[in-house]
Amino acid sequence: MRIVVMCKSVPDTMDVRFDPQTKTMVRAGVATTINPFDLFAIEAALRLREQHGGTVTAMTMGPSAAQRELQDAIAMGCDDAVLLSSPAYAGSDTWATAYALACAVRYMGEVDLIVCGRQAQDGDTGQVGPGIARQLGWPQVTYVSRVCELDLMARRIVVERLLEDGRQTLAAQLPAVMTVLKDANLPRTATLRGMRRAHRAVVPTWGPEITGADPRLVGLDGSPTRVVRVFSPTARQGQVQWITAATPQKVAEGLLAALTAEQLV
Amino acid sequence: MARLKIDRELCIGCGACVDACLYGALALVDGLAVVNDLCVACSACLDVCPVVALSLPAAQDASLSADTASGVWVWIETQHGGAAEVSWEMLGKGRELADARRVELVACVLGSRCQDLALSAGRRGADRVLLVDDPALAAFQTDVYARVLLTLVTAQRPEIMLFGATTRGRDLAGSLAADLRTGLTADCTELSIDPENGCLVQTRPAYGGNIMATIVTPTRRPQMATVRPRVFEPAPVQGDRVPTIERVAMPPVGELATEVLAFVPSRSDENLGQARVIVAGGKGVGSAEGFTLLAELAALLGGAVGASRAAVDAGWVSYAHQVGQTGRTVRPELYIACGISGAIQHRAGMSTSRVIVAINSDSTAPIFDIAHFGVVGDLFQIVPALSAALRQQLGDQQ
C-alpha cells in the first residue's frame, strides 16, 4: 500500500492582520509550520500503514524552505518526502496547485491513496483535494471523520463523512483521494528516532521538468484566478453593551429584554 | 526567478513592499527592492508601492473566449429533503448579478422526484430551471453530480456558476472546476460585477477572516464561486410567477467509483449551519453535564448547541458541535457564547453572527471585543436564570 499525504507549509500564526493605515500586512515573523489540518491527514496515513503495511510519502509544493515541514512529517513517521519547488510554480492558484501535485503523483506511479487535510489554514479553500482527484480521474472522499474499512484485496475504502445534515457512509474504489477532518484522529508527536531520521533524510526537489507537468499550466500562467486586492475586513462598529444587575435573575431579565428588542426572541 | 518584476529605475527603496509581503519574499539590497523565490505572486505589494515600480506580468491565456459564455447559474442543493437555504440566498444574489450582466438566471436542480424543488426555484426568480430528475441522483454523490453538471455546462456555457460553500457544494464545485480548467473562488462573502469588463468580482475571507481577498477569473469561463451560507438575503417567493422548467434527460455517467452505503441524519441540535440561534459553550462550562444547561436554553430558543475546541477536546460534546476554524463556520442571528474566552480560531468561525452575547466570568476575555451584549458573571447562574426568564416570557404569551 503506497500512500501520499499532502501537507502545506503555512505561516505559523492565524493572527495575520492588515494595517489599514499603512496598507501593509502586520506579521509576527515569517516562521512556518505544517498546516494544522494536515497533521490529521498524516496521522490517518500512518495508521493505515500500520494496519496494512506499505509506505507513506509526504509531499508539498512550496519554496525550498518548505523542506523543513517535510522533515517534520518524516519525524512524525512518514517514510520519505518529495518537495515540488520551482520558479515555474510561483503564483499557482488551487487549480494549478492541484494539477502540479497530480502530475507528481502520476510521476511516482502506483499510488493507492492520497490523504489531504480538510483545507489549509491560510487559504481556507478545501479545493485542492477534490482538484487532485479530478486531475487523476480518481474518486474523492472528503470531510472524512472516520475510516471504517480498507480492503486492499477488493481495492476499496469505506469512510464516514460528516456533512451539514448528517453522517454519510461512502465506499470508494482505490486509488482514491481522501480529505480528513480533525475528528478523524489525534495526531502523534515526533519521536526522537523520527527526528534523527528526518535530519538524515534527503528530500528530492521536483520541478515540472521532472514530473512532466506542462509548464504553461502551473504557476501564475496556469492559474485561472487572479488576486486583485488584499485588504483588512471592516471591524464591527460599536462596543459591547454590558448588562449588569444585582442578581443573576435581574441580569437574565435585562438580557432577555435586549434580545426581545432585537426581535431575536 | 520570481514572477514579480521590479523596475530598478523607478524604485526609491522606501521598503513599503518589504513590509507588505506576507511571505518574506522582498528585501532591500543597496537601497533597492529585490525579490527572492519565496514570492507567490499574491500582488499584496503592488498596491503599497508609491511609485508603481512593481508589476506582475499578466498571463497569456485566451484559449477560451469569455464572449461566448452567457448566463448566471446556481446549483440548488438539497438538505433534509428540501433546498438548503444557501440555494435561495444564491438565487437572490444571482438575480442581481444576472441583471447587472443583462443575462438569464438559471437554477440547476438535480435529484430524484425533485419537481417541487424546481418549481420553488422558478418561483424564487430563476428565469429557467434545468431539471435532471433521475433515481440515480437520489443520494448526492460528487462523481455523478459532477458528470451531469459537466454535460450541462459544456453544452450551454454559462459565464458564472455559484455553489453553496457547504461540504457538498465545495466538493462538487472543486471537482467540476478541475475538469473545466476554470477559476473557482472559495467561500465568497461579496459578489459583484465589474462594470468595466463584466467580470465577476469575488471577495472572500482568508486566514480565518483576518484578511479579505478580492479574486477574479479574467479569461476562463464559467467563473465559479462557492458562497458562504447566511451572507446574502434569500430570494423572495413570487407566488404568481410561472416557472420555466426544462427537463433534461439523465446523461450517461458510466461506471461509478463510489457508492453511498448509509446516511444518518444529524440531530437538530447538531445542525449548526441552519440554526437561527446557537448557544455555545467553552472551557468555562466545565463538564458534559454543564452542557445540559446550554442544551436546555438552546431548546427554548429553538436553536443548536455549539462548542469551542477546548470543550470538544475535553470530550464534553462531540466534534459535530465545534465552531471555529477547525470546526464549522456559522452565522446565526443570535450566538450566545458561554464560558468561551474567544480565541482567534473560535472567533473566525462565529464573528459574523448578527448578534453575539458573551457570558464569561473574566471581563477581559477577548470574546467581549466582538460581543454586542456582555455579561460578566457565573454562567451556571446566568444561563438557568435566562432559561427561566425565557420560559416565563413564552408562558405569558400563551
Range of the domain at A42: 2-217
Residue A248, domain member (yes or no): no
Does A203 score more than 70 pLDDT? yes
The answer to whether A243 contacts chain B (CB < 8 Å) is yes
Task: Note the pLDDT of residue A250.
Answer: 95
**CATH code at position A202:** 3.40.50.620
Does B30 score more than 80 pLDDT? yes
Q: What is the mean pLDDT of residues B60-68?
A: 50
* A183: confidence class by pLDDT, cuts 50, 70, 90: confident
Percent over 90 (pLDDT), chain A:
77
Query: Mutating which of A240, A243, A263 best tests the B interface, going by the most B Cβ atoms within 10 A?
Result: A240
Residue A254, domain member (yes or no): no
Higher pLDDT residue, B141 or B39?
B141
Query: Mutating which of B261, B276, B346 best tests the A interface, going by the most A Cβ atoms within 10 A?
Result: B261
Residue A136, domain member (yes or no): yes
Q: What is the predicted ipTM?
A: 0.90
Task: Note the pLDDT of residue B37.
Answer: 72
Residue A234, domain member (yes or no): no
Which residues on chain B are in Cβ contact (under 8 Å) with A181?
A: 319
Q: What pTM does this model have? A: 0.85
* Tens of pLDDT, residues B176-225: 999 999 999 999 999 999 999 999 999 998 887 778 899 999 999 999 99
The answer to whether B390 contacts chain A (CB < 8 Å) is yes
For residue B68, which amino acid is it?
T
Q: Helix, strand or coil for residue B385?
A: helix
Lowest mean pLDDT, pick from A188-197, B77-86, B94-103, B337-346: B77-86
* Total tally of structural domains belonging to chain A: 1
Task: Note the pLDDT of residue B64.
Answer: 45
* B2: confidence class by pLDDT, cuts 50, 70, 90: low
The alpha-carbon gap from A105 to the nearest alpha carbon of chain B, in Å, equals 16
The answer to whether A154 contacts chain B (CB < 8 Å) is no
Does A187 score more than 90 pLDDT? yes
Nearest-CB residue to B59 (from A133, A221, A251): A221
Q: Do A220 and B56 touch (CB under 8 A)?
A: yes
Residue A260, domain member (yes or no): no
DSSP chain A: -EEEEE--EEES-S--EEETTTTEEE-S---EEE-HHHHHHHHHHHHHHHHH--EEEEEEES-GGGHHHHHHHHHHT-SEEEEE--GGGTT--HHHHHHHHHHHHHHH----EEEEESS-TTT----HHHHHHHHHT--EEEEEEEEEEEETTTTEEEEEEEETTEEEEEEEESSEEEEE-GGG--PPPPPHHHHHHHHH----EE-HHHHT--GGGSHHHH-S-EEEEEEPPPPPPS--EE---SSHHHHHHHHHHHHHHTT--
* A49: confidence class by pLDDT, cuts 50, 70, 90: very high
Residue A259, domain member (yes or no): no
Lowest mean pLDDT, pick from A72-81, B53-62, B221-230: B53-62
Which residues on chain A are in Cβ contact (under 8 Å) with B393?
A: 256, 260, 265
Does B57 score more than 80 pLDDT? no
- Shortest CA distance from A21: residue in chain B: B48
Q: Report the mean per-residue pLDDT for chain A.
A: 91
Q: What is the mean pLDDT of residues A136-160?
A: 96
Higher pLDDT residue, B21 or A108?
A108
Residue A235, domain member (yes or no): no
Residue A180, domain member (yes or no): yes
